[in-house]
Amino acid sequence: MKIFFIMGLLCAFLCAQDNAAELENALSNETLSIKEQAISGFQRKEQYFDMYLNEYTDNETRNTVFQLSGSLFNIDPYKSNYLLPFTYDFTKHEGRQNAEVAFQISFEKDIIYDFLGLKETMSIAYTQRSWWQLYKHSSPFRETNYLPEAYISIPWHNNKSPIKNYKFGFLHESNGQPEGNSRSWNRLYFDATLQYKGVFIAPRVWYRIPEKAEDDDNSDILDYMGYGDLTVVYPFREHLFKLLVRNNFDFDKNRYAAQLDWTFPFAKSGVFGHVQYFDGYGESLIDYNQKTRRIGIGLALSR
């Protein structure tokens, strides 16, 4: 029942109606500048994508890319929101079944727009990733990772440049477990979005905020997670392909991760089919130092 309650909350967020039309009717000519400053995150992002996709894509692909940027809500989807009712881990882990449910909830809220005069957006976001041993006796939740985040996103104003925007942020990640199974770390990160024709490329680097040795539950996490990652997104018609790769660049004790997500229209239902494949280290915090090779199928509400 927990998962249905959580997904119900998510659907409530995604079904909320935007009040932008009412705001527009209420505003007088003298207050149009206020309306412009309050324009929704989706509208800004839609204009941003529309500016750069131009001749490289067809109409179906353009619609797919617009879905990347959220929708007309006060609270917007951030990363993908999905439910994978069946995943299978090809590696053996003691005390768990190979088949389980996985899901992710992710949303963001824009707080301040253009405060610094750079057309920047200051936002907060929250992502939760869970792995549920539904097919095991008593169906326990095996692991949940919590990722609250705050960041500033700034558009790049040179239209001829492949760089489209860059972002500075703070990211906390923990699993909320008691001592012994507790995992957590804090990062400052910088990433950028670049476009080459119809492909979007997003490199990201991070700096781990140091902790006291006695408080550090995972002192060697950078040996497995490295110092950054790279995301490549390719929208084609109504399909979306997303590849995330990571490597610690230690050639003696090399650790890597690769995750491929494919989303596609599903029965004209307003949701999307979702196939996910992961291979490497760091899929979840409890397994950051254990290799996982998993495939999952399910549905995505946002991508």
Confidence label for 59 from pLDDT (cuts 50, 70 and 90) = low
- pLDDT, tens digit (0-9, with 9 covering 90-100), for 127-138: 999 999 999 988
Who wins on pLDDT, 160 or 84?
A: 84
Q: Which of 262, 265, 257 is nearest to 296 (CA)?
A: 262
146/220 Cα distance (integer angstroms) = 20
Q: What is the mean pLDDT of the chain?
A: 83
CB 219 within 8 A of CB 190: no
pLDDT > 90: percent of the chain: 60
220/218 Cα distance (integer angstroms) = 6
Confidence (pLDDT) at 50: 56
161/235 Cα distance (integer angstroms) = 20
CATH for the 2-302 domain, from 3.30.390.10, 1.10.3720.10, 1.10.760.10, 2.40.230.10? 2.40.230.10
Q: Which of 193, 194, 152 is nearest to 170 (CA)?
A: 152
Catalytic residue list contains 174:
yes
Confidence (pLDDT) at 52: 55
Q: Is 300 helix (H, G, I), strand (E, B) or coil?
A: strand
- pLDDT, tens digit (0-9, with 9 covering 90-100), for 154-201: 999 887 889 989 999 999 999 998 888 899 999 999 999 999 988 999
204/121 Cα distance (integer angstroms) = 18
Confidence label for 30 from pLDDT (cuts 50, 70 and 90) = very low
280/45 Cα distance (integer angstroms) = 32
CB 238 within 8 A of CB 303: no
| DSSP strand pairing (81-89 vs 99-113) | antiparallel
202 phi-psi bin (left φ>0, alpha ψ -120 to 50, beta other) = beta
| DSSP strand pairing (121-132 vs 163-174) | unpaired
Residue 37 has pLDDT above 70, yes or no: no
Confidence (pLDDT) at 40: 45
Q: Which of 69, 71, 93, 172 is catalytic?
A: 172
155/150 Cα distance (integer angstroms) = 17
Confidence label for 62 from pLDDT (cuts 50, 70 and 90) = low
Residue 253 has pLDDT above 80, yes or no: yes
Catalytic residue list contains 284:
no
By mean pLDDT, which of 73-82, 89-98, 112-121, 190-199 is the weakest?
A: 73-82
Question: In the numeric block, which tokens belong to residue 125?
Answer: 């976001």
Confidence label for 41 from pLDDT (cuts 50, 70 and 90) = very low
Confidence label for 202 from pLDDT (cuts 50, 70 and 90) = very high
Q: Which 8-state DSSP code applies to residue 117?
A: S
Radius of gyration of the chain (CA): 20
Confidence label for 85 from pLDDT (cuts 50, 70 and 90) = very high
147/152 Cα distance (integer angstroms) = 16
Q: Which of 174, 182, 239, 284 is catalytic?
A: 174
Q: Is 47 helix (H, G, I), strand (E, B) or coil?
A: helix
Bridge partners (DSSP) listed for residue 187: 171, 208
- pLDDT, tens digit (0-9, with 9 covering 90-100), for 223-242: 999 999 999 999 998 899 99
Q: What is the Cβ-side half-sphere exposure of residue 227, based on CA atoms within 13 angstroms?
A: 3
Domain ranges of the chain: 2-302
